[in-house]
Amino acid sequence: MRVLLVYPPFLEERPKDYDVRPLPIGIFYLAALLKEKGYQVEILNWYNLKDFHLAERTFRALRPDVIGFSIFNANRWGGIDLARLAKRLLPETKIVFGGVGATFLWEHLLTHFPEIDFVVRGEGEESFGRLLDALAAKAPSVELQKLPGIALRTESGPMATPEADFISEIDQLPDPARYYTFQHVISSRGCPWNCVFCGSPTFWKRRVRFHSPEYFVEQLERLSRRGVSFFYVSDDTFTLRKERVIRICEEILKRGLRITWQAISRVDAIDEEIVYWMRRAGCLQISFGVESGSEKIRNKVLNKKISTEAIKKAFEICRRYGVVPRAYFIYGCPGESKKTIEASVKLIKEIKPLSMICYILDLYPGTALYEEFKRRTGATDDLWLERIEDIMYHETDPGLPAERVRRFGRRLHETFDKNFPRFVETLDLVDRRELYPLHADFLTRLAITLRYGELAERDIPEKDRLAERLFRRALKYHPDHHAYLGLGIIYQQQRAFQKSIEILEQGLRHYPHSEELNVCQAVNYMQLGRFREALEHLLAFENSAEAMLRAAACYEALGNLAKRDEYLKKAKALGAKI
Ligand code: B12
Ligand code: SF4
């Protein structure tokens, strides 16, 4: 049987699509299991599909027996539109919706959209596997109605079968890294807490199941052998079990994996020892849901259950160990006011995050907040018949006009941007010798993020001066290659060529064969008209189109046209566009 798994397009186009581009992790788990069961599986990441003719051609060419759509709230319509198209072209093909966006809206979806045949509710592997087996065996509807964990249409209307049990040992699932390459990974499923805005408690029923450190690190190793060197560890709370996290980190170090990664945690689920091990094993950033500076909003309204003290402590630990603490804030909450936003502003200034993301509170089916909204307003799931991605809480609260909420958002962002230089200048890294190279790496990365990464677009004052100081500070800990290069480039851009030459000379003492340092140095000499010295830094890099091109320019300046042509030819052979 041929199965097509599709991640359908989102309704709205985003200026930055890094949040929606990655395929949901679950798709890889599903596909790996189906492959091992002998099904032919194909995955299509159509998160930004615009041309439905492409979908039409694909459906016609592949003629899948089953198409499974992975649904979030925001790509629900993309799934419905594609399902409609598929059903028109291939009426015999069974359409299955799964994922968090389908699980809680199964009744709505089956009631209003005849093109959807089944919804798989909750954890997908076993339920989908059983459904496919039954479809392959052409089981009649009465048999299908006995399969746990699904919903389907019967003569009397949509019905859900009893809930399926969770897979007891998730290590038994085939490792998707055997078949696929991906960057988002999870080492556990579920979260014991119960925040009202989050789908996890209802979806995973507050039970947490863990992959063993061996399973997880084996997966990382498989992926890293295929060239993945950075991972998003996307567990709801990666650090739930301290001993396990430390074992994972030790295993990464034991296997000598040269990887970096980031993780999600809670402020009350980390301590110094965990952060120390995570840093040593390549962790660059830990994200924490801080949500609000107002205790009332955080703990009463959102039910986050974390204290201000715990927040401060977690951020302090990360800052001392050279791990970027990222703060997630939510605004536009019930009871939000200037006062509560000022409480967030105060907290931001105190905890000094080095990265911050602010979301407007959304209402997702499956969350306690969404249920409360339905009770409060009498709304029903029919509201999803409108072509909208989601509903923001403030749209349901006359006390919170949109413009006011936007102002709140601006205030939070401005606070972060304006204070960021101080957040960086006050970093006080823990004095442990074995961490020195990592400290240098941390400071260098911060500087690079300021100049080229997510912070480059923010309105942070005096970014270049800050970056320069960070690079300099990094070099006090360790002769970091990128810090030398970063400084060399900054001075070069300031046209302080002699200064740039001096710092790059220092770098070249440690990394004489570095192409980047040598080419950057050559550029300095070229700018000063010292072409022979520039050539000394270029000629060794016979495999670099850029070095060969610059060498040709040097020869031209020196009047040696034969050599110029020789090097132009070399550059061309290496792919340089001349
Ligand atoms: C990691 C994560 C991310 C990562 C995505 C990593 C990735 N590639 O998956 C990032 C940071 C990119 C992200 C982004 C966003 N996320 Co997110 N994210 C999560 C998180 C914390 C974990 C998801 C996860 O890995 N689960 C574990 C795996 C095994 O489960 P799964 O992928 O859901 O798949 C299983 C089942 O759902 C099902 N299944 C899935 N697809 C299909 C398809 C078929 C055919 C079948 C049969 C079954 C099936 O079977 C799978 C295996 O058991 C969840 C919370 C949670 N705990 O679920 C929120 C969550 C999914 N995210 C959420 C949101 C809102 C977003 C954003 C829209 C945020 C934003 N404002 O921009 C974006 C965009 C959506 C997107 N592409 O993910 C919401 C979704 C709410 C909703 N109903 O739509 C959640 C539930 C959190 C919440 N607020 O409640 N997210
Ligand atoms: S927001 Fe985080 S801590 Fe709260 S229930 Fe969701 S995953 Fe757990």
Which residues are registered as beta bridge partners of 119? 97, 151
Q: For ligand 1, what atom is nearest to the CA of residue 191?
A: 57
Mean predicted confidence (pLDDT) in 192-221: 98
Residues 264 and 235 sit within 8 Å (Cβ to Cβ): yes
Ligand nearest to the CA of 269: 2
What percent of the chain shows pLDDT beyond 90? Answer: 98
CA of 237 to the centre of ligand 2 (A): 8
Residue 446 has pLDDT above 90, yes or no: yes
pLDDT tens for 481-528 read: 999 999 999 999 999 999 999 999 999 999 999 999 999 999 999 999
Mean predicted confidence (pLDDT) in 402-428: 98
Mean pLDDT, the chain, rounded, equals 97
CA of 522 to the centre of ligand 1 (A): 48
Q: How far is CA 200 from CA 222, 236, 246, 316, in A?
A: 28, 8, 25, 28
Question: For residues 469 and 492, what is the distance between their CA atoms, to the nearest angstrom?
Answer: 16
Ligand 1 pocket, Cβ-based, cut-off 6 angstroms = 19-20, 22-27, 29-30, 68-70, 72-74, 96, 98-101, 120, 123-125, 128, 184, 186, 189, 198-200, 203, 234, 236, 359, 364
**201: Cβ below 6 Å to ligand 2?**
yes
Q: How far is CA 427 from CA 286, 327, 352, 424, in A?
A: 16, 16, 9, 5
pLDDT tens for 353-389 read: 999 999 999 999 999 999 999 999 999 999 999 999 9
Mean predicted confidence (pLDDT) in 146-162: 97
Ligand nearest to the CA of 190: 1
pLDDT band, very low/low/confident/very high, at 18 (cuts 50, 70, 90): confident
Residue 445 has pLDDT above 90, yes or no: yes
pLDDT band, very low/low/confident/very high, at 470 (cuts 50, 70, 90): very high
Among 423, 493, 436, residue whose Cα is nearest residue 322: 436
Which of 188, 189, 191 is the pocket-test mutation for ligand 2 (most atoms within 8 Å of CB)?
191
CA angle 78, 20, 203 (to 5 degrees): 80
Residue 138 has pLDDT above 90, yes or no: yes
What percent of the chain shows pLDDT beyond 70? Answer: 100
pLDDT tens for 111-123 read: 999 999 999 999 9
CA angle 245, 251, 252 (to 5 degrees): 90
Residue 15 has pLDDT above 90, yes or no: no
CA of 73 to the centre of ligand 1 (A): 10
Question: For residues 334 and 353, what is the distance between their CA atoms, to the nearest angstrom?
Answer: 25
**524: Cβ below 6 Å to ligand 2?**
no
Q: How far is CA 85 from CA 82, 91, 114, 214, 539, in A?
A: 5, 10, 12, 43, 58
Sheet holding 184-185, edge to edge: 184-185, 230-233, 260-265, 283-291, 324-331, 355-360
Residues 43 and 3 sit within 8 Å (Cβ to Cβ): no
Q: For ligand 2, what atom is nearest to the CA of residue 192?
A: 8
pLDDT band, very low/low/confident/very high, at 16 (cuts 50, 70, 90): confident
Mean predicted confidence (pLDDT) in 543-558: 98
pLDDT band, very low/low/confident/very high, at 437 (cuts 50, 70, 90): very high
Residue 230 has pLDDT above 90, yes or no: yes
Q: Which residue has the tokens 């084996």?
A: 218
CA of 112 to the centre of ligand 1 (A): 24
Residues 442 and 343 sit within 8 Å (Cβ to Cβ): no
Question: For residues 544 and 522, what is the distance between their CA atoms, to the nearest angstrom?
Answer: 13
Q: Please report the pLDDT score of residue 199 as a whole number.
A: 96
Q: Please report the pLDDT score of residue 79 as a whole number.
A: 98
Mean predicted confidence (pLDDT) in 259-267: 98
Q: For ligand 1, what atom is nearest to the CA of residue 198?
A: 90
